[in-house]
Amino acid sequence: MDSRACGFLGLALVAIRLSAESQLSAHRDGIVSVSCPACHHERNMPAAALARIIGWDTPLSAALRRLRCSACGARRARVSIHYPRRPRGWNSHP
- Residue 7's pLDDT is 38
pTM of structure: 0.66
Tell me whether residue 90 is in a domain: no
Q: How many CB atoms lie within 10 A of CB 63?
A: 21
Tell me whether residue 92 is in a domain: no
Structural domain boundaries enclosing 24 = 3-85
Query: Domain tally for the chain?
Result: 1
The model's pLDDT over 68-85, given as tens digits with 9 standing for 90+, comes to 899 999 988 888 888 877
Give the length of the chain. Answer: 94
Tell me whether residue 91 is in a domain: no
Tell me whether residue 39 is in a domain: yes
The model's pLDDT over 43-63, given as tens digits with 9 standing for 90+, comes to 998 989 988 988 899 888 888
- Alpha helices for the chain (secondary structure H): 47-54, 60-66
- Tell me, rounded to whole angstroms, the distance of Cα 18 from its chain centroid: 11
Tell me whether residue 94 is in a domain: no
